[in-house]
Amino acid sequence: MTDDQLLVRCVAASRTYGEGARAVVAVHGATCAVRRGDRVALVGRSGSGKSTLLHLLAGLERPTSGTVDRPVTGAGTAIPFAVIFQGPSLVPALDVVENVALPLVLAEVPDHVARSRATEALAVVGISELALALPDELSGGQAQRVAVARAVASRPAVILADEPTGRLDRTAGEQLVTLLLGVADDLDAALVVATHDSAVADRLEDRWEMHDGRLVATWTVLSQQSR
């Protein structure tokens, strides 16, 4: 792919927490790039630095050293990212459609537009009937579908998912990965999924492997047709 397909690039990016003898280096000098159409499994054991690298890619954290570059669009605006977290990310007091619309409202999208886009996103992920439900009325799989709908509503160019199947059973997890792949295709968005589950990783075309905070290898494992 050419550089006009580049969505985000890390160059020798590191993230350290704390100082001196108590400093913990979560990511050591990672160099990687996400381009339009990428389908990446970011693999490694718990504590290997997967989540921190995702946060660096998303701009949720800044590198202690090195750089994370995000090209702007032709209109001069930032490329939109969406992050799907492993743990609960819904606001308990808001119903489902309000939770999906919330990032848009915080971005000062007019309320009626945000709600309309949230309603459309719930239809895309197949849970329109849950629009007025509260988070504590949802199953784990339903809650993760709401999180995916929130990503859809923001119309991102990059979807970053952190262990999205970690709290789901095998069937629900497989359904969620299928949904994420379909949504990424529909949006023409890149998809990066951090996972320690080989069944999830095997659904994605490219593999990034982390070990003790180091991105030790990147390679392509399958073609798009074999998904």
- Name the domain count of the chain: 1
Whole-angstrom CA distances from 55 to 130, 141, 200, 215 are 29, 23, 20, 15
How many Cα atoms are found within 13 Å in the side-chain-facing hemisphere of 78? Answer: 10
C-alpha 170/C-alpha 150 separation (Å) is 23
Task: Kindly report the backbone phi and psi dihedral angles of residue 173, in degrees, each rounded to the nearest multiple of 5, phi listed first.
Answer: -65, -45
C-alpha 196/C-alpha 34 separation (Å) is 20
Q: What is residue 142's predicted lDDT score, i.e. its pLDDT?
A: 94
Report CA torsion sign: 91, 94, 99, 103. Answer: negative
C-alpha 23/C-alpha 98 separation (Å) is 40
pTM of this prediction? Answer: 0.92
Q: Which domain holds residue 168?
A: 3-226
C-alpha 42/C-alpha 35 separation (Å) is 15
How would you classify the pairing of strands 65-69 and 6-17? antiparallel
Q: What is residue 218's predicted lDDT score, i.e. its pLDDT?
A: 86
Whole-angstrom CA distances from 127 to 13, 74, 119, 144, 199 are 39, 34, 10, 11, 25
Q: What is residue 222's predicted lDDT score, i.e. its pLDDT?
A: 61
Q: What is residue 79's predicted lDDT score, i.e. its pLDDT?
A: 87
Q: What is residue 224's predicted lDDT score, i.e. its pLDDT?
A: 47
Residue 190 · residue 157 · CB < 8 Å? yes
Residues of the chain under the 70 pLDDT cut = 1-2, 74-75, 222-227
Closest CA to 168 of 158, 179, 182, 159: 179
- 3-state secondary structure at position 31: strand
CATH number of the domain residue 139 falls in = 3.40.50.300
Condensed to tens digits (0 to 9), the pLDDT of residues 164-220 reads 998 899 999 999 999 999 999 999 999 999 999 999 999 999 999 999 999 998 888
Using H for helix, E for strand and C for coil, what is the string for 174-213?
A: HHHHHHHHHHHHHHCCEEEEEECCHHHHCCCCEEEEEECC
Q: What is residue 226's predicted lDDT score, i.e. its pLDDT?
A: 45
